[in-house]
Amino acid sequence: MHEIISGEFVAAGWGRGADGGLGLLEGVTVRDLRGRSTPVVNYAPFTLLPSAVPSALFEQAYAVQQDFNLLVDAISQNKEFLEHTLASTIKVDDFTAQLFRIHMQVLEEGLAQSVFLGINRSDYMFDCGVDGTPALKQIEINTIAASFGGLTSRTAAVHGRVLKVLGKSEEASRLLPNNPSKGLALGIAKAWELYGSQSAVVMFLVEEVQRNIFDQRCVENELWNRNIRVIRKRFRDVFEKGSLDDAKRLIENLLFFFFFCPDGMVSLFLSQNWEARLLLERSRAVKCPDIATQLAGTKKVQQELSRPGTLERLLPGRTEAIARIRATFAGLYSLDMGEEGDKIAATAIADPDRFVLKPQREGGGNNLYGEELRQVLEKIRDSPERTSYILMDKIKPQPAMNYLLRAHSPLQVSECISELGIFGVYVRQDKEMVMNKAAGHLLRTKAIEHADGGVAAGVAVLDSPYLV
């Protein structure tokens, strides 16, 4: 499709003058903080054209999402698995260790929470492999940094309008409907309903400066449409005003029964923020994610899942689900101290272009590749610090040409690769799974010269799949 359209670009008026106005028109917006004392609104970065995605792999990604929802939930309930898997990581990674300490403290006290909400996003690339046949391979599953469900709900409208301007109405009609913000809100609403109080509110726990506020507002508006009240607070607010009553309900002048963190608080917290997180975890409030689910999304857990027999222990009797999950795995390798870790570290140092080195951090921009990977591994190869990383086979997708629109950047054609994310939502009450569904998709595209980084990191842009 791109070959057909690209030659007609300038004639259709989308040449040098393309400025992202359609993104603003359709509400694909972010706060623009660049060089300004007060933020203004600009369009979120996006591709000018939708990108081709193999329909069979797209359907495979949707088909396995409910399986991954079940898997994440099973991990979050398995104290022994988390304790064993993260034993080496918590010795060298302070952030994960602090989360784990809170998790253990809450378990020792006894869980007050009985309704559990999971919102995750499983991210994939299309690996061409040796023979050039594309295969779906999972990059990671995000149990906390699962953003852009709101903005991607509006991205298809932008691409549909572009195609119509280019005289491609038939192609525009083939773009898929996609509304993750509605799907995510359905999960939140179900958890709110099961909590059992009409006075309960949904609290979005936000950062001091929220660049991605409009993405969050899409989900928030869906909740207001269901007459569910939404408030926005910071960790500091919880620390200064939050408390628990005798029934472990969370109180701050009014009752907060629900906690939702759409973008994830991944920076190292101040001590008062850790205290606020502990308060939240000890409460009856429905946390999304609760700490056990956040730990289930760590890279070390992802690597452990690839070991033979692990999925069978976590999902007993679910043979077909296990097969669907395992089919998406890329090669994952432990860097724990010992012969196995020594061997894979030496292999990666000798041939760094085969691998990606991943730390225990959410969001894009943290992974290491090539010469940087080699330098870091050589530095830590004999140190326990290496156990805070995992190695993964480097996925090699087939590039395609597209135009990436960013505010303050010139428009130019780029050789690009894409990453497909599928949103999942589930609700469990005690031991009963009440809701389990795929909630929509997110396609992000970046120029091939950028090895790592997503939309929030300023590297990838929003896209829409055009199934082929």
Question: Does 393 show up as a binding residue in the annotation?
Answer: yes
Choosing from 137, 358, 386, 428, the catalytic residue is 358
Residue 94 CB contacts under 8 Å (≥ 6 apart), including other chains = 268
Instruction: Report the distance separating Cα 208 and Cα 45, nearest Å.
Output: 23
Catalytic residue among 76, 88, 122, 142: 142
Find out whether 362 is annotated in a ligand binding site.
Answer: yes
**Has 419 been labeled as part of a binding site?**
yes
Any binding-site annotation on 369?
yes
> Does the annotation list 60 as a binding residue?
no
User: Is 367 annotated as belonging to a binding site?
Assistant: yes
**Is 290 known as a binding-site position?**
no
Catalytic residue, chosen from 26, 222, 281, 362, is 362
Q: Is 300 annotated to bind ligand?
A: no
d(CA 238, CA 241): 5
Query: Could you confirm whether 140 is annotated as catalytic?
Result: yes
Q: Which residues pair with 457 in a beta bridge?
A: none
Is 109 annotated to bind a ligand? Reply is: no
Which residue in the list 26, 140, 222, 281 is annotated as catalytic?
140
Does the active-site annotation cover 147?
Answer: yes
Q: Is 299 annotated as a binding residue?
A: yes
Q: b/e map of 419-450 (b: 16 or more CB within 10 Å)?
A: bbbbbbbbbbeeeeebbbbbbbbbbbbbbeeb
83 in catalytic set: no
Does the annotation place 120 within a ligand binding site? no
Q: Is 317 helix (H, G, I), strand (E, B) or coil?
A: coil
Name which of 50, 52, 2, 253 is nearest 159 in CA terms: 50
337 marked as binding residue? no
Is 428 flagged in the annotation as binding?
no
Which of the residues 161, 252, 363, 437 is marked catalytic?
363
C-alpha 374/C-alpha 345 separation (Å) is 9
Name the active-site residue from 88, 147, 153, 464.
147
Element containing residue 421 per DSSP (H, E): strand 413-429
CB 310 within 8 A of CB 282: no
Half-sphere exposure of 341 (CA within 13 A, CB side): 19
359 is in an annotated binding site: yes
180 is in an annotated binding site: no
Interatomic CA distance for residues 373 and 46, integer angstroms: 29
CA distance 313 to 210: 40
Q: Shortest CA distance to 95 belongs to which of 339, 327, 265, 338? A: 265
98 labelled ligand-binding:
no
Residue 341 to residue 351: CA distance in whole angstroms: 15
Among candidate residues 23, 51, 69, 121, the one labeled active-site is 121
Q: Is 365 annotated as a binding residue?
A: yes
DSSP-based helix, strand, coil % in the chain, nearest 5:
40, 25, 35
The annotation status of 35 as a binding-site residue, yes or no, is no
Q: How far apart are CA 439 and CA 167, in angstroms?
A: 31
363 an active-site residue?
A: yes
3 is in an annotated binding site: no
Q: Does the annotation list 121 as a binding residue? A: yes
Of the residues 299, 300, 374, 386, only one is catalytic, namely 299
Q: Rounded to an integer, what distance in angstroms lies between the CA atom of residue 158 and that of residue 46? A: 9
Q: Which residues are annotated as a binding site for ATP?
A: 140, 299, 358-367, 369, 392-395, 419, 446, 452
Q: Which residues are annotated as a binding site for substrate?
A: 121, 216, 444
Q: Which residues are annotated as a binding site for Mg(2+)?
A: 140, 142, 362
Q: Which residues are annotated as a binding site?
A: 121, 140, 142, 216, 299, 358-367, 369, 392-395, 419, 444, 446, 452
Active site (catalytic) residues: 121, 140, 142, 147, 299, 358, 362-363, 444
